[in-house]
Homo-oligomer: A and B are copies of this chain.
Amino acid sequence: MTTSVGTQHISKQFDNELENIRERVLAMGGLVEQQLINALRALTEFEVEFAQLVVRNEPQVNALEVSIDEDCTKILARRQPAAGDLRLVMAVIKTITDLERIGDESEKIAKMAIELIEKQGPKSYYVGISALGNHARKMVHDALDAFARMDTQAALKVASDEPRSDEMYVAILRQLITYMMEDPRNISGTIDVVWTARALERIADHARNICEYVIYFVEGKDVRHISIEQMEKEISESKK
């Protein structure tokens, strides 16, 4: 697919630049997704090496954010994009902020995994965390897929998966509170697990944000701060 939504650029070079930025976002997305996978693996399989790998790779995520941001600023300054091209650049600028934060949260999970592996062994409540982790990971993967194909229906599907992560989070929190109440010696260690659940719920939020930028790029409509129903309406209206 082309990123220019049908417009023909006089400069082939400009096309290449836009395509290059899009590919770099997907590369950053791939790295961030791998960071999350490794953080979850450290946490659920008690493999400290995976957590250490996440911590080691975090600066790469930050460097990509800064570098793609620079590319976007250069394109704005030199190419003065309009319409769909401008929306693509805007969507990229916002997407990389959310990707960087998913990277941040993954690093936090990895660091908590290191602590938890040291302090305590596997616990039954990890089943809930693992399920929420898979849900969040799938949302990130599908959001990147929607971005790659600039597919609004796929984006809408991811956004509609988000409330499920809130429900899972609330259920885990309830379970963790019960666990802490049963034995107050568990409190300190369990608070770290609470943070992990919270980090996963935030990752799901960021995945939803990315989907909103996909819809913004394709439809030219800002769908932040509105309900899924309103989002669906906005998209279907533009199809008429």
* CB-CB contacts below 8 Å: A72-100 with B: 73, 76-77, 80-83, 86-87, 90, 93-94, 97
A86 touches B73 (CB 8 A): yes
Closest chain B residue, CB of each to CB of A179 = B187
Which of A23-31, A61-69, A142-150 lies at the binding interface? A61-69
Q: Which of B81, B97, B181 contacts A94 (CB 8 A)?
A: B97
Q: Which of B97, B187, B225 contacts A97 (CB 8 A)?
A: B97
Closest chain B residue, CB of each to CB of A78 = B82
B177 touches A188 (CB 8 A): yes
A225 touches B59 (CB 8 A): yes
A224 touches B177 (CB 8 A): no
The secondary-structure label for the interface of chain A is helix
Interface pairs (16), CB distance under 8 Å: A62-B224, A62-B225, A65-B225, A66-B222, A66-B224, A66-B225, A69-B222, A77-B82, A80-B80, A94-B97, A97-B97, A173-B191, A180-B187, A181-B185, A182-B184, A198-B198
In the complex, the 9 A-B pairs of residues with the closest C-beta atoms, listed nearest first: A80-B80, A62-B225, A181-B184, A66-B222, A180-B187, A77-B82, A184-B184, A181-B187, A177-B188
Additional A-B contact list (7), CB under 8 Å, known A77-B83, A97-B97, A181-B187: A62-B225, A93-B93, A94-B97, A173-B191, A177-B188, A180-B184, A187-B187
A residues apposed to B, CB below 8 Å: 59, 62-63, 65-66, 69-70, 73, 76-77, 80-83, 86-87, 90, 93-94, 97, 173, 177, 180-182, 184-185, 187-188, 191, 194, 198, 222, 224-225
